[in-house]
Structure 1
Amino acid sequence: MEYRQLGASGLKVPALSFGAGTFGGQGPLFGAWGTTDARQARRLVDICLEAGITMFDTADVYSSGASEEVLGAAIKGRRDQVLLSTKAGLPMGDGPGDAGTSRSRLIRATEDALRRLGTDHIDLFQLHAYDASTPVEEVLGTLDQLVRDGKIRYTGVSNFAGWQLMKSLAAADRLGYPRYTAHQVYYSLVGRDYEWELMPLGQDQGVGAMVWSPLGWGRLTGKLRRGRPLPAGSRLHRTADYGPPVADEDLFRVVDALDEVAAETGRTVPQVALAWLLRRPTVASVIIGARDEEQLRQNIGAVGWELTDEQVARLDAASGKPAPYPHFPYERQEGFARLSPPLFPYRPGAAADAGSAEA
């Protein structure tokens, strides 16, 4: 397993992390994701650790806290072998104090997460969404105190817009608070919006990407094919409306390219899709999920080999979209590009930081 620096921090994380959204299985969304109990979860953690996957990501909102509880039970007795990542901020109830990132909410959310995870500290604590009702100075000051208290090691965000993240980083610099080192983002071959604003920001400001839903909300598993209905057991029957939409023609153009590369490499479609992400700039770790051992082992097979430059170029072409304003002049017009060279095309293989290590 390759280990990469998380943004500009000193924390090294595995190129693949494990997402525990399938743990617990409560509610219409997370019940459709998976219903892994503590015994099953412990076996999945065993497989991850054997492969060098040491980081496990969850959130308080996943199955109303049950995901954190199951993950805590699964790592019991081996806390020193793992990195724990969790998130807070989305609603956990209907009360006025049950959502957001106010001081009182963050302190309570942290204490609840520590209790459910059965630990005395969280390695990476992330804000699950931007809270427009709470000043960023209050948020940063609270996280600073939690870091000083030893309850949190590193901080990050998830699903922020570029201006929201930059506003927070500027405030942290101004006030001397810890900067966010991670941004947990949606990014896949059928969802490349991250590249236009957030990726250049992350590169410039030293914020590493933790990629969620790298298989496009289950669309790049290799089970969806042109002219065929959704497989009977596909979770997309119940969860498609929760995720970003993808036009059929866009999806199947990408799937066709993945099929070609998979045949050439002897790998599966999901493995190729994950391997493509692992080459992208700013990507520190790709979060994989699994409902069973076979699915997990398949996803782990995305590491330990390389796509060729030509194969990457084909996948880029199949999944690319025209740049939106204000980005398109910098991509298409020489005068704009001279002032601010685009991040793409980039040197293939440059995604891994110089501080990477192998294990």
Structure 2
Amino acid sequence: MTTYRRLGRSGLHLFPIGLGTMQFGWSADEETAYGIMDAYYAAGGNFIDTADIYTTWTPGNPGGVSEEIVGRWMKDRGNRDDIVVATKVRGAMGGMDNNQGRKTVHQREGLSRRWILKACEDSLKRLQTDHIDLYQAHWVDNQTPIEETLSAFSELVQRGYVRYIGCSNYSAWRLMQALWTSDRKGLESYVSIQPEYSLLSPTRANFERELMPLCVEYGIGVVPWSPLGGGMLTGKYKRGQPLPESVRADENSSRRFSDQNFDVVDALEAVATPLGAKPAQVALAWMLAQPAMTAPIIGANNVTQLQELLGTVEVKLSADDLAKISRASDWERARTELES
């Protein structure tokens, strides 16, 4: 039986694999998205993560498509009370209005009180719900005082529109600033952080040195995005072989193809093979063994991909397995050993 994990010190308990929905309305149409969510829910999944800006790059699309799809699915399935819905605010929505020949830009982004309150109302409509379980600051807004942001979030909690608040893409000092401000001002406090984190992420060292200890000390749940390095850790990319069909193949070949990264994939495959597992499952199982980790957020373009990743909950890694993976991905140690 799957053990649900508490999100930091909050009262939320999450399935150990979160379902990301950035691809809904982009690489997965609505019918496919329904199938993915159905399969996730059937497996016991309860944590669905979206954002108001998903999907905004479609021509003529003002944003919010992912939220709309998730909202329609929950209404159709009648399972809203079973789902922990997480969404985000900060990014630009809509665009410019044409006012009698003059283009006027209204504030449609940021973490100001004005925008947070408006964005939350809009997300609630798209999600067809009366509350958001986890409302997250998508990234820092340097133009708005943190007191204003946290005050607006607190007002939403007081109104009953939001249950808990979290942040995404915050540095350790920014998160500490927010926690200190909440404590000093008596405001709602972030219960989670959503950083980029994987065996390959360029910010991994900073996360493990600074953010991870902070999260452990203050009980902040970690729900990382891109835990598979944009698909690199699935093992579908082979050293020296042609690229497979993938929406991120070109991006990965230019950003993530290196001997060091392929060495990490090789280590995952070496651990996975005797376990009868997949490299992606081993990568996620390694992540779930890290301190403060609640639920890495995965994306899937079809049900087959999703079901393979959900198999992670059955993978049990030994201390030796974890050490092998950590050793293969510890580039600083590898450089030190090479230089010595």
TM class by shorter-chain length? 0.7 to 0.9
**Whole-angstrom CA distance in 2 between matches of 1:129 and 1:261:** 35
Which residues in structure 2 correspond to 1:1-359 (within 5 Å)?
Answer: 1-25=2-26, 34-37=27-30, 39-63=31-55, 64-76=63-75, 77-94=78-95, 95=105, 97-191=107-201, 192-193=204-205, 194-231=207-244, 233-237=245-249, 239-240=251-252, 245-246=255-256, 248-322=258-332
Q: Give the Å deviation of 1:36.
A: 2.5
* CA drift at 1:240: 4.4
Structure 2: 5+ residue stretches without partners: 56-62, 96-104
Contact 1:42–1:75 (Cα < 8 Å) also in 2: no
- Report if aligned partners of 1:93, 1:99 keep a CA contact under 8 Å in 2: no
CA spacing shift, 1:23–1:247, aligned 2, 3 Å? closer
One-letter code aligned to 2:28: T
- Taking the aligned partners of 2:160 and 2:252, their CA distance within structure 1 comes to 39
Q: Secondary structure at the match of 1:154?
A: strand
Once the 2 structures are TM-superposed, how far is the Cα of residue 35 of structure 1 from its aligned partner?
2.6
Alpha-carbon distance, 1:247 to partner: 5.6
Conserved 8 A contact 1:87-1:127 = yes
- Equivalent residues, number: 312
CA–CA distance in 2 between the matches of 1:127 and 1:36? 26
Backbone CA RMSD of aligned residues: 1.7
Give the secondary-structure state (helix, strand or coil) at the position aligned to 1:146: helix
Deviations 1:64-105 (A, max 9, x none): 210000111111121111110001102224535111110010
CA contact (8 A) 1:2 1:15 kept: yes
Alpha-carbon distance in 2 for matches of 1:225, 1:305: 23
Q: Distance in 1 between matches of 2:277 and 2:21?
A: 25
Q: How far apart, in 2, do the equivalents of 1:99 and 1:320 lie?
A: 38
Following superposition, the deviation at residue 236 of structure 1 comes to 2.2
* Corresponding position of 1:351: none
For residues 143 and 65 of structure 1, what CA distance do their matches in structure 2 show? 20
- Residue 16 of structure 1, CA deviation: 0.8
Q: Give the Cα separation in 2 of the matches to 1:11 and 1:58.
A: 17
| 2:232–2:256 Cα contact (<8 Å) kept | no
The secondary structure found in structure 1 opposite 2:295 is strand
SS at match of 1:197: helix
TM-score, structure 1 normalization: 0.83
Alpha-carbon distance between aligned partners in 2 of 1:196 and 1:305, rounded to the nearest angstrom: 27
